[in-house]
Amino acid sequence: MKTLLHGWNRFWFAEQPATPIALFRILFGVLLLQVLLVELLPNFAYFYGVRAIIDTSSTVTYWWNAQPRFDLFLLGPETDAFRLSLFFVLVVAAFTLTIGLFTRVSAIFVYLGLLTLHQQCPLNRDGGDAFMQIVALLLCFSHCKDAYSIDCLLEKKRNQSANCGQNALFKPWAQRLLQVQLAIIYGHSFINKAIGPAWQNGTAFYVSTHMADFIRFPLPHFMEDLLISQILTYYTLVVELFMFTLVWFKPFRYWVLLSGVILHCGIEYMMNLPGFETLMVASYVNFIEPADLNRVIDWLKRKLFTLLSLFRYE
């Protein structure tokens, strides 16, 4: 029992560098900016304007059930200008979160902004959006600002002994919560798929890749074969099961993560699910051991330095 308790405490609170969650903060911020500026901004009036596809009164009645909900749009005048101004505050917060400037405050604004958008237009929301909202909340309590951030650079400039940077140590409980949340997503997906007839007989891959609303690129002809469909269907189930189970064991972890990357890259090619696949893959960074991540980053720095030296004049 004491060994189990010690392992539990070590999992949540054994100090480690903040580099994985700091790198994830950057990836998350870039993906969020892409969603905000490329996907939502051109259609802002359609989804979130005063005369949106669902107006505020309908949302309050049919989605909120006339109960209080958090929505920053309700704090000001019911005009498109006010709502668009709040949206650009969210964009600025996403940018400052990405670069690590006022990181904790930026994460709070990002979470409140995403919560507002998701409450205001429930039809323009999917599982990826819900996961993004949870990520933003957990980043508010994390040490994601303590590496690869402007906040860290400013803190180091003010105090050379400040506890931040690539080798500073922190309790990783917020990062662990992100890992657990990701594993729960895969576990929930596996359980729901495994009881479906199409997943059991191996035709789910064929069916899902022939849904006209989601097709991005047509499949190569050889992938129309039933055997290929069965192999890829069962491969999906196995990867999701392993991302829920074996990913927690170090000897298997990177192989499982690689299998997940292959799965999501395939889905990204075949199906038009904006942002979801890249967000899931970006979340894998939280499973990488800090020492391994630091070695990769140092190797990339050396390669970049070597490349830049080729263009240096004597």
Helices (H), the chain: 2-13, 19-34, 44-48, 56-58, 80-99, 103-120, 127-139, 150-158, 173-194, 197-200, 204-208, 226-244, 250-270, 276-283, 290-309
Per the CB < 8 A criterion, the answer to whether 19 and 175 are in contact is no
pTM over 0.75: yes
Nearest one of 312, 236, 299 to 267, comparing CA atoms: 236
Per-residue pLDDT band at 124 (split at 50, 70, 90): confident
pLDDT band at 198 (very low <50, low <70, confident <90, very high): very high
Look-up of token digits 């992938």: 223
Closest residue by Cα to residue 286 from 152, 148, 176, 135: 176
Give the domain ranges of the chain.
14-151+161-171
Q: Which pLDDT band, with edges at 50, 70 and 90, does 312 fall under? A: low
73-98 pLDDT tens trace: 988 898 999 999 999 999 999 999 99
**Distance of alpha carbon 109 from alpha carbon 207, whole angstroms:** 40
80: which residues sit within 8 A by CB, 6+ positions away? 45, 49, 50
Chain segment 150-179, per-residue pLDDT in tens: 999 999 888 877 777 777 889 999 999 999
pLDDT in tens, 218-276: 778 877 888 998 999 999 999 999 999 999 999 999 999 999 999 999 988 888 887 88
Q: Taking residues 55-72, what's their average pLDDT?
A: 83
d(CA 119, CA 62): 12
Contact 16, 170 (CB under 8 A): yes
Copy the structure tokens of residue 33.
């900016």
How far is the C-alpha of 147 from the C-alpha of 61, rounded, in Å?
Answer: 45
